[in-house]
Structure 1
Amino acid sequence: MKFGITQRFTCNYLPEYEEQLLVSMAPANELNELYSQLMHSGFRRSGEQLYRPHCPDCRRCNSVRVLTGEFSPSKSQKRILAKNKHIKVKMTSDQRDDHYPLYERYISAFHADGTMYPPSYTQYRNFIACQWQQPVFLEARQDDGSLLAVAVTDRVKDGLSALYTYYSPDFEKHSLGKFMIMQQIYQADAMGLPFLYLGYQIDECRKMNYKTAFEPYQRLIDNRWVQYP
């Protein structure tokens, strides 16, 4: 395999550090087959690219994956499931017309201070779409069909890879982000897939700490998956 290394830039999660990425340079027609293999080594997808942190002065990012068949919701997670029991969740391979407007509202409401603001349809497509990997969408809808949340996820050989979740700002108190993670866990288990890959955990970053609340989970440390708890 061939890889490239990006220039250093300010870390989005720990601004006092600099970030550098290792990026797969494999031809597009080979990436679909390599995707599952590279996931085991801590890579993620963004648009057409597969990347992994390769920071010279920091090892704080650890890939996290949930063991779907062994997952047991905590008391607080059970309350989230009960609060949202009226919501209907469906998986589709089609990006529907109401997906992007919800994404735009979500970014404007919750991430106006981040690199994804201001949102645009081109930015959204460049982030989500991929020629060699078709993402799937878990939609959460009310009884009247109105869209509340979308979890964009990729299927790999041994699991689902949670790419991004966005939801209606009007339902912030319903903890839809955590609800949609659990829906992806249950979906992966129903498909006979043992893992849900959640991306990177950074213990010092408060925004990331929700990922280790879904137990049991594994973290990739020194190229070895270690189980917690």
Structure 2
Amino acid sequence: MTTQPRDTPQFYLTAPSPCPYLPGREERKVFTHLVGRRAAEINDILTQGGFRRSQTIAYRPACEACRSCISVRVVVNAFKPSRSFRRILSRNSDLVGEIRNPTPTSEQYSLFRNYLDARHSDGGMVDMTVLDYAMMVEDSHVTTRIVEYRPRGPDSRITGRGSGELRAVVLTDILADGLSMVYSFYDPAAYDRSLGSFVILDHIAKARELGLPYVYLGYWVEGSHKMDYKTRFRPQERLMPQGWMRVD
């Protein structure tokens, strides 16, 4: 009997289930496991091919009659913040994002719960326990970091760390060609800060500092209002049948 080596990905197809973005439609996904010594390399290749990571799974939509989910990445070096983005950066200039090892904390989980309850109370993640959250953060065979956003302290310029109340968190993969924002959540009470947009703007700045050309935002779903915000970060590239196409 022949067996596939652990470092060779095998792909599987899920059964149809209700689409979380477009009412009345069904979704299917193709997925593989990201494990073994080649996990980071495979994750790079698959992300460039339109996959997303969730713990040790890389997945991509494989719906039979729909192609609405489109992978989006921001072109870092060509990005210039609009007037509205500059206002968001100004409103959040008192925050600093510290890049940390992916270690879950009770403070993170408390913010995570508040975010889900306020913004996604009908979503598939609403029942996640503290152990589920810990697995989401820790269960990774690729280069993953967690970015914590807190108010600036007196020594933040030296240490790169904030102080005080946790305002936002982003789970981020560091790829060969960019930063992939796996999941983000933030203080839902601070709606006037536009923290969801701010953490993307900050990741664009961080990618530029690291010399990485892209920030991967996941899927833009045409026709889904909750995904419209991703179209604002331009220039961007969208993965079409003919390859990555730039949209200015």
- TM (norm. structure 1) is 0.94
Q: Which moved more, 1:80-89 or 1:176-185?
A: 80-89
Q: 2:149 — aligned with what?
A: 140
* Percent of pairs with identical residues: 36
Determine the C-alpha separation between the residues in 1 that align with 2:56 and 2:17. Answer: 20
Q: 1:61 — aligned with what?
A: 69
Gaps of 5+ in 2: 1-8, 153-162
SS of equivalent residue, structure 2 residue 190: helix
Shift in Å, 1:49: 0.2
Determine the C-alpha separation between the residues in 2 that align with 1:189 and 1:196. Answer: 10
Q: 2:157 — aligned with what?
A: none
Match of 2:79 among 71, 81, 89: 71
Q: 1:214 — aligned with what?
A: 233
Match of 2:174 among 133, 145, 155: 155
SS of equivalent residue, structure 1 residue 42: coil
Shift in Å, 1:145: 2.0
SS of equivalent residue, structure 1 residue 51: strand
| Higher Cα Rg, which structure | 2
Q: 1:173 — aligned with what?
A: 192
Q: CA RMSD in A?
A: 1.5
Q: Deviations over 1:132-163 (max 9, x none)?
A: 12421121102442110011110111001001
CA change 1:178–1:27 in 2 (3 A) is closer
Q: Which moved more, 1:88-97 or 1:112-121?
A: 88-97
Give the aligned residue type for 1:190.
Answer: E
Q: 2:45 — aligned with what?
A: 37
CA change 1:26–1:103 in 2 (3 A) is closer
Determine the C-alpha separation between the residues in 2 that align with 1:53 and 1:40. Answer: 14
SS of equivalent residue, structure 1 residue 218: strand
Give the aligned residue type for 1:167.
Answer: Y
Aligned length: 229
SS of equivalent residue, structure 1 residue 38: helix
CA change 1:160–1:26 in 2 (3 A) is closer
Please list every run of at least 4 consecutive aligned residues from structure 1 whose deviation after the TM superposition is greater than 4 angstroms: none
Q: 1:130 — aligned with what?
A: 139
Gaps of 5+ in 1: none
Q: 2:117 — aligned with what?
A: 108
Indicate whether 1:183 and 2:202 are aligned. yes
Determine the C-alpha separation between the residues in 2 that align with 1:121 and 1:13. Answer: 26
Determine the C-alpha separation between the residues in 2 that align with 1:24 and 1:197. Answer: 19
Indicate whether 1:17 and 2:25 are aligned. yes
Give the aligned residue type for 1:36.
Answer: D
CA change 1:162–1:79 in 2 (3 A) is same
Match of 1:204 among 223, 234, 237: 223
Structure 1 contact 43–50 (Cα < 8 Å) conserved = yes
CA change 1:131–1:89 in 2 (3 A) is closer
Shift in Å, 1:130: 2.4
- TM (norm. structure 2) is 0.87
Q: Which moved more, 1:188-197 or 1:133-142?
A: 133-142
Q: 1:51 — aligned with what?
A: 59
